[in-house]
Amino acid sequence: MACLVDPLGRTFPYLRLSLLEACNFHCSYCLPDGYRAGPRPTRWLTAEEIARLLRGFAAVGMRKLRLTGGEPSLRADLSKIIGIAAGTPGIEKIAMTTNGILLQRRLQDWRAAGLTALNVSVDSLDPVRFKAITGHDRGVEVIAGVEQALGLGFDAVKLNAVLLRGLNDDELPAWLAYLRDRRISIRFIELMRTGDNLEYFRRHHLRSEDLEQSLLDAGWQLLPRLADAGPAREYRHPEYQGRIGIIAPYSRDFCASCNRLRVTAKGDLRLCLFGEFGIPLRQLLQSDEQQAELIASLHAQLGLKQAGHGLHEGQTGMTPHLASVGG
């Protein structure tokens, strides 16, 4: 079956699937006032619809799946969904991005269901700052869950830290100490402008060039990038077990190697994180007989994929905050 290819010849082995928009954290750069449910209960994709979606994407070259949200661990059927993904032919990697609040309680179940990689959002190792950024005094607990994950044989355990000027941009020494003897990767992510965070963005956005230069000056080496890898530039150092990744969406060539598509928790295909439109797929996930129609639709929609985002021009598309599409 032909892989999905866009007009620039890029292929898409990586799908980011949002399981819900709800989240129980109040991260200052995303949902500072917390998640607000709409007037009517929202029907997120069901496990059956997700099974059909994953079969369709796997049939057109998807090899890596990332489960996101909101906060994916709020789904009571999360282990079932991980199991469905693990049982879908063609899917080789099943990763999840979580705020870590349920790690200690649910990690074993997710691992047993087939989860192969884990990203945990930890914007600071300092519990006081963690609380200031997320609105929750759970930093110590989350890090304890990360330590647990390091012992469960995951292919990869990574921490996502959004770079925030004046809030956590002086913590490199603490991070270096943390990853010296741990097989873990810290991702420093440039704060992205979204529809709702302009003022915050202006106060706290920090480009990653200086940080990256200081790593190079300190002997960190840039590693080659795998075909289904995320957007990070990954660095290693002979004196450290851990690695550092830099995710710099504001760097000029960021989108040239785009290899991922997104589906929202309501079943809309998003060709780009900062795209102007979503393409409803849910109506094609209602029976197993619709697979050919789903696959034909995916091929057709890829023709609409743009070369890149418009963040440099201040265009944030239809993304009010990252919880709405799973980052």
Q: Which is nearer to ligand SF4, 64 or 309 (CB)?
A: 309
Distance, CA of 11 to CA of 33 (rounded, Å): 37
Q: Which is nearer to ligand SF4, 171 or 212 (CB)?
A: 212
The phi and psi torsions of 271 (rounded to 5 degrees) equal -70, -25
**Is 310 one of the binding residues for ligand SF4 (CB under 6 A)?**
no
**Is 125 one of the binding residues for ligand SF4 (CB under 6 A)?**
no
Distance, CA of 136 to CA of 239 (rounded, Å): 34
Nearest to 215 by CA among 242, 253, 191, 255: 242
For ligand SF4, the binding residues in 257-276 under the rule CB under 6 A are 258, 272-274
Shortest spacing between CB 256 and ligand SF4, in angstroms:
8
For 53, the token pair is: 């979606």
Q: Which is nearer to ligand SF4, 231 or 242 (CB)?
A: 231
- Helices 103-113 and 139-150, axial angle in degrees (round to 10): 30
**Is 309 one of the binding residues for ligand SF4 (CB under 6 A)?**
yes
Residue type at position 171: E
3 state SS of 10: coil
**Is 17 one of the binding residues for ligand SF4 (CB under 6 A)?**
no
Shortest spacing between CB 108 and ligand SF4, in angstroms:
33
Distance, CA of 294 to CA of 285 (rounded, Å): 8
Q: Which is nearer to ligand SF4, 145 or 231 (CB)?
A: 231
Distance, CA of 17 to CA of 14 (rounded, Å): 10
For 54, 160, 263, 264, the CA distances from 114, given in Å and listed in that order, are: 15, 22, 21, 22
Shortest spacing between CB 196 and ligand SF4, in angstroms:
17
Distance, CA of 73 to CA of 23 (rounded, Å): 9
Q: Which is nearer to ligand SF4, 198 or 216 (CB)?
A: 198
* Interface map 202-231 toward ligand SF4 (x if CB under 6 A): -----------------------------x
User: Which DSSP state fits 249?
Assistant: T
Shortest spacing between CB 309 and ligand SF4, in angstroms:
4
Stretch that binds ligand SF4, among 109-117, 218-226, 239-247, 254-262 (CB under 6 A): 254-262
Q: How far is CA 157 from the centre of its chain?
A: 13
Q: Which is nearer to ligand SF4, 107 or 255 (CB)?
A: 255
Binder of ligand SF4 out of 91, 255, 269, 281 (CB under 6 A) = 255
Count the site residues for ligand SF4 by CB under 6 A. 9
Task: End-to-end CA distance of the chain: give it in Å, rounded.
Answer: 29
Report the interface residues with ligand SF4, using CB under 6 A.
231, 254-255, 258, 272-274, 308-309
